[in-house]
Chains A and B, each alone.
Chain A
Amino acid sequence: MTPSRGLSALSSPGDSHGDDRFRLLVDSVKDYAIFMLDPTGHVTTWNPGAVRIKGYLASEIIGKHFSIFYPPEDVAAGKTERELAIATREGRFEEEGWRIRKDGARIWANVTITALRSPVGVLLGFAKVTRDLTERREAEEETRRFRLLVESVKDYAIFMLDPTGHVTTWNRGAERIKGYSAEEIIGKHFSIFYPPEDIADGKTERELAIATREGRFEEEGWRICKNGERIWASVTITALHNPTGALIGFAKVTRDMSEHRRAEEARRALAAERAALAEKARTQEFQERFLAILGHDLRNPLASIDMGTGILRQRLTNLTDIRVLERMQGSSTRMSRMIEQILDLTRTRLAGGLELTPTPFDLRDAIRIVVEELRAAHPSRPIELSCPPLMGNWDRDRLEQVFSNLVGNAVLHGDPTKPVRVQAQQQDGEVLVTVHNEGPPIPPELLSVIFNPFRRGERDSRTAKTSGLGLGLYISNEIAVAHGGRIEVQSSAAEGTTFHVKLPTGA
């Protein structure tokens, strides 16, 4: 069988012009390998497409069996004989499969084998048309892999919209973030993801218009999940165009930033809180410095004034002079006490609280000095003292301040006809000092806040007598607490008023 005989079978019999034209056509085809086999499968013709696709020249291949194009395993499995048998029986065989080029490379080919018969039905051979689909297959494979990738992404909702905004694809991330399954959402308009106010505002149309015009739309905003929950999402809408530039839809990538936003908000709140704290600290530092400087700078002149009035009080004999002097001294004493209290208040509000300088001493000596000072200041008021020697490690000056405050209050507020009683004793590993006075009790509403600074409600009653700042008991209690102790108070019309100072001996 010659090529001309074979080809003439494809054209109308006896038409030699048509035969030539047809040969020309086949010879010019480069994208298809078109060649003929004899009835036993040997190559009889070869076109340029076959040269290009298979790699053999006509001179190399004509006369060879077509199994040369098949992978060895297919040949061993009898695939070539089977194909020819099918084509012989059914007139035609078609498949896509692997073929081997001359250089050994495998190509993915679409193959058609058509049986050629004479007008009386004698099998003349086969026409074989092979198309190289390797590139298409690779492209399809790539598309498949990419689709798999997109579908398996869980952190991003990646899906497509048609040009009117209806969902056409859906990935696992979209399902996870939005809550809809693919079956539920495909075909729905993407406005379903937006809060009603955004839809009413035309936001969805606006976003698609921007993406269409500018190629891309991006924002962070609220979106609604299937369960109605609002999420803070980062959204990108990209317009998709076909090669001719026509809009074919949009790719939409959404990321749930709710967690991120919460963290950001928490961070901002923390920063604001820190700034507020820093501002507060600055203000506090200024106030404390101001008070400390004020107190310090006022102290020495005050000591001089007090010292001077003390000297004069001892020297003067004229009663009027003495009265004037005593008022001056009383004023300087009150001023001194107020400065001390303001400074102590400042100290108690500092981070470290009151600082103590403990030394070992006998508490009896300290109480005795306080009582003697008050007896001297109030000669008409009996003050009874009952105290054994009580050694301990305390800040003596501070404890004298406490007893001076408590005994002073008792003298001031107690029944003037009854004695103030000061008793001290060792009890359960601590020292207990009680200061008792008779007289009208402390009102219950004041009793509960008596150790608070600047107590309200006291000014018109108790403090009126002392002209103080309402800080004495607060500071006394702070001093006791700084020693690891405490002050308690009991007050009733029947029992009078008793302050209990409890101090550990080793503080």
Chain B
Amino acid sequence: MTHTVLVVEDEQDLREMMRDALELNGYTVVTAEHGQDALAKLSDIEHLCLVILDLLMPVMNGWDFVVKLREQSALATVPVVVHTSAAAQAPAGVTRVIQKPLLFDRLLAVVREYCAQ
């Protein structure tokens, strides 16, 4: 059974690079530009194993997204890894906080922890 990683990142270059890196390593990836986009795509994902979340995004930021995500009982325990430049401001209810920049090796190591390839 393939598990899906949801990448929520407003910067296109980085978002697409993350998708390529994870797909190259055998993961299924859904990308979203911001929190609201991600919420809209949640219903299409069958087995969500991990959310990789940026915080500072337009339309809906990472903090609001985490609140909305946790309101859905089926997704209340889905791991959320936040990458941010201000770790102390990370929202409550996230699983891991990683200092930016999220590098290739670190991305794969973190995803490997939570998701089956």
Contact of A397 among B11, B85, B96, B108 (CB under 8 A): B96
* Chain B residues numbered 38-71 whose CB sits less than 8 Å from any CB in chain A: none
Decide yes or no whether A207 CB sits under 8 A from chain B: no
Is A296 in contact with B17, judged by CB distance below 8 angstroms? Answer: no
From A54-62, A86-94, A129-137, A303-311, the one touching the partner chain is: A303-311
Contacts of B90 in A (CB 8 A): 357
Q: Given A308-B17, A315-B24, A357-B90: A303 and B102 within 8 A (CB)?
A: yes
Whole-angstrom CA separation of A292 from B24 in the bound complex:
33
* Chain A residues numbered 262-285 whose CB sits less than 8 Å from any CB in chain B: none
Contacts of A314 in B (CB 8 A): 24-25
Whole-angstrom CA separation of A225 from B97 in the bound complex:
72
Q: Given A300-B11, A396-B96: A336 and B101 within 8 A (CB)?
A: yes
Chain A min CB distance to B5 (Å): 14
Whole-angstrom CA separation of A296 from B101 in the bound complex:
9
Is A397 in contact with B14, judged by CB distance below 8 angstroms? Answer: no
Q: Which residue of chain A is the closest to B110 with respect to CB atoms?
A: A369
Q: Given A303-B14, A304-B14, A308-B17: A373 and B105 within 8 A (CB)?
A: yes
Contacts of A308 in B (CB 8 A): 17
Decide yes or no whether A441 CB sits under 8 A from chain B: no
Whole-angstrom CA separation of A355 from B89 in the bound complex:
10
Contacts of A376 in B (CB 8 A): 105
Whole-angstrom CA separation of A372 from B88 in the bound complex:
27
Is A300 in contact with B21, judged by CB distance below 8 angstroms? Answer: no
Give the dominant DSSP class at A's interface.
helix
Q: Which residue of chain B is the closest to A295 with respect to CB atoms?
A: B85
Chain B min CB distance to A3 (Å): 117
Contacts of B104 in A (CB 8 A): 306-307, 309-311, 329
Contact of B101 among A302, A310, A369 (CB under 8 A): A302
Chain B min CB distance to A346 (Å): 12
Contacts of A397 in B (CB 8 A): 87, 96-99
Contacts of B87 in A (CB 8 A): 355, 357, 395, 397
Contacts of B107 in A (CB 8 A): 307, 310
Q: Given A303-B14, A315-B24: A369 and B109 within 8 A (CB)?
A: yes
Contact of A307 among B21, B97, B109, B113 (CB under 8 A): B21
Q: Given A300-B11, A315-B24: A333 and B17 within 8 A (CB)?
A: no
Contacts of B74 in A (CB 8 A): none
Decide yes or no whether A326 CB sits under 8 A from chain B: no
Contacts of A356 in B (CB 8 A): 88
Contacts of B111 in A (CB 8 A): none
Chain B min CB distance to A365 (Å): 8
Contacts of A459 in B (CB 8 A): none
Chain A residues with CB under 8 Å of chain B are 292, 295-296, 299-304, 306-311, 314-315, 329, 333, 336, 340, 343, 355-357, 359, 365, 369, 372-373, 376, 395-397
A-B pairs with beta carbons under 8 Å apart, 8 shown = A295-B85, A296-B85, A301-B13, A304-B13, A307-B18, A309-B104, A336-B103, A359-B96
